[in-house]
Amino acid sequence: MKEKNSSKHSKTDWDYLAADSDDGIDFSDIPKLDSNFWKNATLKEPQKKDSVTMRLDHDVLTWFRGMGRGYQTKINTVLRSYMTATKHI
């Protein structure tokens, strides 16, 4: 029997990470955050998403599902891109 919500289980080896130190991490390509960064930083909350039921052509849905995890987010991104492109027409 398939375990419920098995796709949500982490495959991360948390014990290994907890035992490892940060000494080997290369931070050279990450800029230091100074007080100016925090002074100008703004909090951006994720937009609320609504759950909908819609009918899509079989081949369209199959194509998006073929992209793997996150295919619904990709559909949303395509729709947002179309919305943005046609907003000023």
pLDDT-derived band at 1, boundaries 50, 70, 90:
very low
For 19-72, the pLDDT digits (tens) are: 888 888 898 999 888 888 888 889 888 889 999 999 999 999 999 999 999 999
Q: Is 27 helix (H, G, I), strand (E, B) or coil?
A: coil
Q: Containing domain of residue 73, as a range?
A: 53-84
The predicted structure's pLDDT at residue 37 = 87
Check: CB of residue 74 under 8 Å from CB of residue 67: yes
Cα–Cα distance between 58 and 61 in angstroms, integer? Answer: 5
Number of domains composing the chain: 1
Query: Is position 58 within any domain?
Result: yes
Q: Is residue 33 part of a domain?
A: no
